């Protein structure tokens, strides 16, 4: 009898969960890919969501970047360890392919420092499309997305290292054909993989509006989209409107010198009960084409103490630095209702 009941229960559960099992088959909800494999988003802990461990920005576009490996390690490894000592557990590396992404180096740095590092798929369409590979101009969005989906399914090159998000970028001004095409490829990749789409948009309301319209057209929720460099937006009401639709607002230019400005910006979101849509980071770079470190420590050293002085609670800090990254980046297909 009990065995029989168990069987009925099992079938019942199977039937109840069947549709969600199907949609989430290849995206375990609540998980993320680090360069060391898949982890529960709960393990992200304190996360910086927009930094560059290294990049080739300013150099020629090259699929495989040429780094001076020894000087890179000499400069970046001690810095990563110092950031870890400040309490940072995870860094999202926003350097795309052709822009200086090297997942083998990221993995070696993660192993040596203990920092959890997350890499991306996608192409960088800003900088006048300088880092967009030639073939992307000829292929259609579906063809481009196949390459990104394959990185998610099989890993990047032969490394087995999988991307944890999609990184794209729009140039200033009216959205260009190539930037739009790459964004549609990003949407198709999201619909297949559940990877969140982080897009360098900055103070370009036209590009933001276009992206939101394309998401709607493809029935993807704005919750799958991050407005990167939103700190540069002058008309902050636009950010509030986007956040209310579910979009993630990345205020990612924190420096010691602009803490007061960030206190004001964060306060603006808090006043509208939208603290749960804000992501904070520095857009730092610990190896900008071999140059000096653009630091990513002001949030820990300056901003958080200042927020606490303003009366922010530990729960609110935790919301900003732990919970929001978890929810923004959990690998999950987000269709609009
Ligand atoms: Zn950046």
Specify the pLDDT at position 50: 98
Specify the pLDDT at position 316: 98
Specify the pLDDT at position 101: 96
Residue-wise pLDDT for 140-190, tens only, equals 999 999 999 999 999 999 999 999 999 999 999 999 999 999 999 999 999
Both structure tokens of 47: 């996360």
CATH architecture assignment, domain 33-329? Alpha-Beta Barrel (3.20)
Contact predicate 193/23, CB 8 Å: no
Q: How far is the CA of 264 from the centre of ligand 1 (A)?
A: 22
Helices of type H across the chain = 2-23, 69-85, 103-113, 134-138, 141-154, 177-193, 205-217, 236-245, 259-271, 298, 304-309, 314-318, 324-329
Q: Can you list the residues of the chain whose pLDDT is less than 70?
A: 1-29
Q: How far is the CA of 94 from the centre of ligand 1 (A)?
A: 6
Torsional class of 127: left (φ above 0), alpha (ψ -120 to 50), beta (otherwise): left
Q: How far is the CA of 116 from the centre of ligand 1 (A)?
A: 18
Residue-wise pLDDT for 222-263, tens only, equals 999 999 999 999 999 999 999 999 999 999 999 999 999 999
Q: How far is the CA of 82 from the centre of ligand 1 (A)?
A: 21
Specify the pLDDT at position 13: 44
Q: How far is the CA of 14 from the centre of ligand 1 (A)?
A: 44
Q: How far is the CA of 267 from the centre of ligand 1 (A)?
A: 24
Q: How far is the CA of 192 from the centre of ligand 1 (A)?
A: 25
Specify the pLDDT at position 66: 87
């Amino acid at each position: 009898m009990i065995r029989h009941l168990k069987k009925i229960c099992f079938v019942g559960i199977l039937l109840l969960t069947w549709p969600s099992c199907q949609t989430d088959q290849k995206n375990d909800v609540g998980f993320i890919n680090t360069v060391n494999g898949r982890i529960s988003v709960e393990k992200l802990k304190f996360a910086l969501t927009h930094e560059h461990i290294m990049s080739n920005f300013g150099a020629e576009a090259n699929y495989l970047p040429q780094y001076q490996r020894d000087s890179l390690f000499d400069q970046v490894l001690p810095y990563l360890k110092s950031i870890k000592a400040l309490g940072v557990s995870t860094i999202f590396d926003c350097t795309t392919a052709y822009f200086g992404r090297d997942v083998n180096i990221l993995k070696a740095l993660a192993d040596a420092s203990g920092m959890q590092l997350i890499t991306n798929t996608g192409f960088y369409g800003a900088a006048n499309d300088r880092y967009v590979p030639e073939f992307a101009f000829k292929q259609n969005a579906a063809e481009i997305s196949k390459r990104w989906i394959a990185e998610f399914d099989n890993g990047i090159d032969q490394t087995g290292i999988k991307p944890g998000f999609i990184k794209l970028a729009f140039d200033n001004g009216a959205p260009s054909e190539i930037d739009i095409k790459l964004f549609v490829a990003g949407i198709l990749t999201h619909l297949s993989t559940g990877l969140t789409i982080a897009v360098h948009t900055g103070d370009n309301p036209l590009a933001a509006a276009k992206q939101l319209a394309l998401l709607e057209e493809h029935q993807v929720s704005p919750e799958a989209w991050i407005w990167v460099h939103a700190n540069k937006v002058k008309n902050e009401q636009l950010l509030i409107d986007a956040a209310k639709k579910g979009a993630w607002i990345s205020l990612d230019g924190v420096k010691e010198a602009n803490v007061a400005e960030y206190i004001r910006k964060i306060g603006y979101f808090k006043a509208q009960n939208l603290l749960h849509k804000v992501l904070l980071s520095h857009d730092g770079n610990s190896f900008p084409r071999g140059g000096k470190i653009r630091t990513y420590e002001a949030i820990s050293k300056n901003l958080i103490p200042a927020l606490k002085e303003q009366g922010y609670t530990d729960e609110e800090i935790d919301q900003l630095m732990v919970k929001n990254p978890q929810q923004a980046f959990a690998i999950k297909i987000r269709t609009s209702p």
